[in-house]
Amino acid sequence: MFHTVLCDLLGIRYPIIQGAMQGAGGPRLVAAVSEAGGLGVLPTFGGTEKDLRDDIEKTRALTGRPFAVNITPIGRAFTESRAAICVEMGVPIVTTGRGDPGSNIVQKLKEAGTIVLPVVPSVHHALRVEAEGADAIIASGMEAGGHVGRVSTMPLVPQVVDAVKVPVVAAGGIGDARGLLAALALGACGIQLGTRFMATVEGECADWMKQRLLEIDETGTMISSLMTGKPVRAFATRILREYEQALAHTDSAEERGELRTRYLKELRNAPVEERTMAAGEIAGMIRDIRTVRELIEGIIEEAATLAEKLYRVSRAEGGGKPLNIRHRARASES
């Protein structure tokens, strides 16, 4: 029912991509996602060239299904070296972070037969990477965890869909079957999930991170530039709040640099309850820890059920009962 052009492009069963997550998405999680019918994605941010080679080999030992590598464009040398490793090791699919990888990188990957899916935060960026040869585009709204742009998913996705000719994947603020159906309604051919995969048995983040995901509500994340110097959505903490408040009251570049140095040091030495980690706004929706297979198959099964209900209502004559679409877990709690 949910076999889309994305499935054919990537050789996967379900139109679900796992967002790359440093510290939470290594070979175990990536292989589990691919084995369950989605596309697992290895991160490169924060790792060495040897780390990437080792992770590719470990993932291949765990699954024979397609998986991808995400290249975060944090500098020409970094981007070129990671792209070269992907070509050398025959990685079939590459996603890129919320920065322009450059036409030369895309061209080299394409010449090697690699499928390239850049993650973009704007229509302008989407048009640029399409011109560079992207096979599909992941439009990611500011609800997502990690580096974010300024546009929310709901308005971003249809605008990107209307602007480009290649397939579009929706990301940011998606964590269940309702998000999949909404993305398809907006014109996307699939979804990318990050934060929801953190809260799985195979998720490789620390136990305190999984516990935090179960505890926080819809206000439990915030955007801060403390960690990388660019806007990152992460768990909201006292340190991040104080840093952003202090930053808003200074116009001096020197003072801003001093503030960041001071608060970064405090963050690195913080107790567990004040640590942070990139996480999206859907964290407030998470109420359990499932296996990856249970999560993916649950999303597909629930989406099919909801789609059938919507179809029945649309076909009803004479004003049928109003449709109350509720997430299965929340409905069972009532």
Name the more confident of 228 and 114: 114
Do 198 and 250 reside in the same domain of the chain? no
Do 117 and 258 reside in the same domain of the chain? no
Do 46 and 72 reside in the same domain of the chain? yes
CATH number at residue 18: 3.20.20.70
DSSP per position, 128-186 = HHHHTT-SSEEEE-TTSSEE--SS-HHHHHHHHHHH-SS-EEEESS--SHHHHHHHHHT
Which residue range is the domain that position 20 belongs to?
5-206+288-298
pLDDT given at position 250: 92
Residue 246, in any domain of the structure: yes
Do 109 and 32 reside in the same domain of the chain? yes
Residue 315, in any domain of the structure: no
Average pLDDT over residues 170-176: 97
What is the rounded CA–CA span in Å between residue 256 and residue 249? 10
Q: Lowest mean pLDDT of 3-12, 179-188, 320-329, name the range.
A: 320-329
> What confidence tier does 99 reach under pLDDT thresholds 50, 70, 90?
low
What is the rounded CA–CA span in Å between residue 326 and residue 152? 23
Residue 330, in any domain of the structure: no
pLDDT tens sequence across 253-309: 999 999 999 999 999 999 998 999 999 999 999 999 999 999 999 999 999 999 999
Do 293 and 263 reside in the same domain of the chain? no
First to last CA, the chain: 30
Do 112 and 231 reside in the same domain of the chain? no
Do 199 and 239 reside in the same domain of the chain? no
Residue 150, in any domain of the structure: yes
> What confidence tier does 330 reach under pLDDT thresholds 50, 70, 90?
very low
Average pLDDT over residues 210-230: 95
pLDDT given at position 334: 32
Average pLDDT over residues 161-171: 98
Residue 139, in any domain of the structure: yes
Do 152 and 241 reside in the same domain of the chain? no
Residues 6+ apart with CB under 8 A from 311: none
Q: What is the pTM of this model?
A: 0.91
Do 253 and 112 reside in the same domain of the chain? no
Given a cut of 60, whether residue 325 has pLDDT beyond it is: no
What is the rounded CA–CA span in Å between residue 208 and residue 197? 15
Q: Which amino acid is at 262?
A: R
Residue 314, in any domain of the structure: no
pLDDT given at position 46: 85
Do 83 and 183 reside in the same domain of the chain? yes
What are the percentages of helix, strand and coil residues in the chain, rounded to 5? 45, 15, 40
Do 158 and 244 reside in the same domain of the chain? no
Do 116 and 256 reside in the same domain of the chain? no
Count of the separate structural domains present in the chain? 2
Name the more confident of 104 and 196: 196
Q: Which amino acid is at 1?
A: M
Element (H, E) at 45: none
Residue 47, in any domain of the structure: yes
pLDDT given at position 97: 82
What is the rounded CA–CA span in Å between residue 114 and residue 272? 40
Residue 312, in any domain of the structure: no
pLDDT given at position 166: 98
Rg of the chain in Å (alpha carbons) = 20
